[in-house]
Amino acid sequence: MPQIAPLVAGDPGQLGSFRLTGRVGEGGQGIVYLGVNEQGERAAIKLLHVKFSGDTIARSRFARELKAAERVASFCTARVMEADLDGNTPYIASEYIDGVPLRDLVDDDGPLRGTALDRLAIGTATALTAIHHASIVHRDFKPDNVLIAADGPRVVDFGIARIVDSTGTITSRAIGTPAYMAPEQIAGDDVGPYTDVFAWGATIAFAATGVTVFEGSSIAVVLNRILNHEVDVSAMPEPLRSVVASALAKDPQARPTADQLLLRLLGQPDTSGASTAVLSRGAEVASDDTTPFTRVRTTLADRKPVTDPAPVPNVTTQPPAVSRGQAQLAELVNGPPPQEQPPPSPPVKPPAPKKRGKGPGRWIAVAVALLLLAAAAVLAVLNDWPWAFGAQPSSGGGNTQPGDFASVIDKVGQTGKLTIGVKGDLPGIGLGRDGSFQGFDVELAQRIARALGAKDVTYAQVGRFDRAASLKSGKVDLVVATYSVDPDEDVLFAGPYYVAHHDVLVRSGANVRTLQDLQGRRLCAPSSPSVANVQDRVKVEPVPADNYAQCMDKIKSGEVDAIPGEDLLLAGFANRETSLRFSVLGAKLNSQRYAVGIKRGDSRTCKAVSGVIAQLYTDGTVAKLLRKHFGNVDFAPELKAPLMEPCE
């Protein structure tokens, strides 16, 4: 574990909400401290050196580090917990990973073998895929930046990451550690995600052999070896051998993407990008060092460009025995009962097996096994069977219940079905009409369901106090319904998917631009804590109302001058008005985090949903939905991606 040094004279005792307890290390750009907040959470806090505090270039570089880290979904990476780049002591607090650098582990204990090596490769490929999905290039992927923690490998240090521009390349100067730099970095050519893939290959080769594969007595020797030396990967098992070999291709265009690395390591077809479910599966495999897993592997030797939209992979199996969720595949491998036949499938011609000197019986057995496995792979792709993701098969027929599955991810993978709880009484957010629902929450739920792979999505109205019971009973699988995070509730929260603020709605053009402009005016007063939030700050005349519909009638008639409430709620009611235009004042009296409710214990689904939400912010989907449902209101919603809740 990292050696934590004591604080020295001149070190700060507090940064933000974190009390500093020691020094983790120091680099050219700043000092890394260990800190703890009031909740007992530990963080690695990077403080910019005092000598750089007035350096606008250094601050700009530090700001890019923060943006990069915030955009990466937390699959096998360290999440950002807090940051301040504007004060006299700019810092970033990231999740503290109590782990050993991969380099130290290999130097002390020797090369990794078997399952440990497999899980390292899958975990780091998962992290790299998440990084690239956020349009980030790490640029310094190496054994020192891979920490081996109790829950698997974690990739850290985005200090020199750069945001990929619209061309998908980066033209700034090459940055990296010489022995893990790619040929294009050395040549001064464009650097991109493919550069990280090369460094990943060199890192995994180091872990498997215990030797820095491009080592040399001088930098010149190292660079020459990178440009001209082919790495010997023959000691690695398949499919790792082929994957690493392809990652170390000298030509960037010949390398697989990070998505393809992960898909091949998990035994999946790599003709499309890795979904959130695949990232979730990769993180799960990497974190579990006790349960054997089986893959259906694609042989990469002599691989040709894919032209068939539904290719048939050449598959083999790897011991140990089939893990949970792969009973169907095991039955195919071992042979079905005599009265059963495998489902019909397109004709498949298996590759010719190699001669092993075991006689014709051996040939027939191998051919039959390969035929069955190939058929299983084809059917899995065509029918979206979930065995490759470790999903548990249903114990019965078509009417399966959520309780039959280990997680919502498993249910979706097995059945394609998902039931989501939403509100049904809030315009613009979640409004039920003629048996269907519409609004911001509903469309956001649709995006989440689609990313999880659901093909059959139904909605059910769920009340605030019914959320935990509905999830526990299996009435719904998720709740996306602008209910705030409640730490005392027996619910696991993914997200937040939006940070709302208590605010005030006024008529546009009413000469009310700040909260103080409401002094002495009439305020609609429904049963809401937002009324007191306004009264604490300015003297107003409250006008009682039973609900927000009444408040809207009162403000349209001029009976009141303003309505307090959460900004989305206010914007939703005001957006449907066509004769008058309204404004959300922007007072932001306090914050309210809205997160997706999940049955407690389903951390796998929680991590997947949080990853989807982060991506929806990154690609602009959340901003588009907010404009769509609240565009008739003068309203500046919160568009900054929120800090994700820990899935614990």
Structure confidence by residue, pLDDT tens digits, 8-49: 888 889 998 999 999 988 765 678 899 999 888 888 888 866
Tokens of 85: 């780049």
Question: What per-residue confidence (pLDDT) applies to 575?
Answer: 94
pLDDT digits (tens, 9 = 90+) for 96-126: 888 888 999 999 999 998 889 999 999 999 9
Give the whole-angstrom CA distance, residue 297 versus residue 286: 17
The topology (CATH level 3) of 100-287 is Transferase(Phosphotransferase); domain 1 (1.10.510)
Kindly state the average pLDDT of the residues 378-407.
42
Spatial CA neighbour of 332 closest among 292, 364, 296: 296
Give yes or no for a contact between 468 and 592, defined as CB atoms under 8 angstroms apart. no
Strand-pair category, 541-544 with 42-48 = unpaired
| Cα angle for residues 219, 224, 230 (degrees, 5° grid) | 125
Kindly state the average pLDDT of the residues 269-295.
72
Q: Where do the CATH 3.30.200.20 domains begin and end in the chain?
A: 14-95
Could you list the beta-strand ranges (E) of 474-575: 478-479, 491-507, 522-525, 541-544, 563-566
Tell me which CATH code domain 14-95 carries: 3.30.200.20
Confidence of residue 365 (pLDDT cuts 50, 70, 90): very low
Q: Where do the CATH 1.10.510.10 domains begin and end in the chain?
A: 100-287
Question: What per-residue confidence (pLDDT) applies to 293?
Answer: 54
Q: Where do the CATH 3.40.190.10 domains begin and end in the chain?
A: 391-648
State the helix-helix crossing angle for 258-265 and 276-287, rounded to 10 degrees: 60
Spatial CA neighbour of 500 closest among 568, 596, 418, 587: 568
Query: How many CA atoms does the CB half-sphere of 282 hold within 13 Å?
Result: 34
The topology (CATH level 3) of 391-648 is D-Maltodextrin-Binding Protein; domain 2 (3.40.190)
Catalytic position from the list 108, 118, 140, 196: 140
pLDDT digits (tens, 9 = 90+) for 219-254: 888 888 899 899 999 889 888 999 999 999 999 999
370: number of Cβ within 10 Å: 20
Residues recorded for the chain? 648
Q: Calculate the average pLDDT of the chain.
A: 77
Confidence of residue 290 (pLDDT cuts 50, 70, 90): low
Does residue 619 carry a catalytic annotation?
no
Q: Kindly state the greatest CA–CA separation across the chain.
A: 97
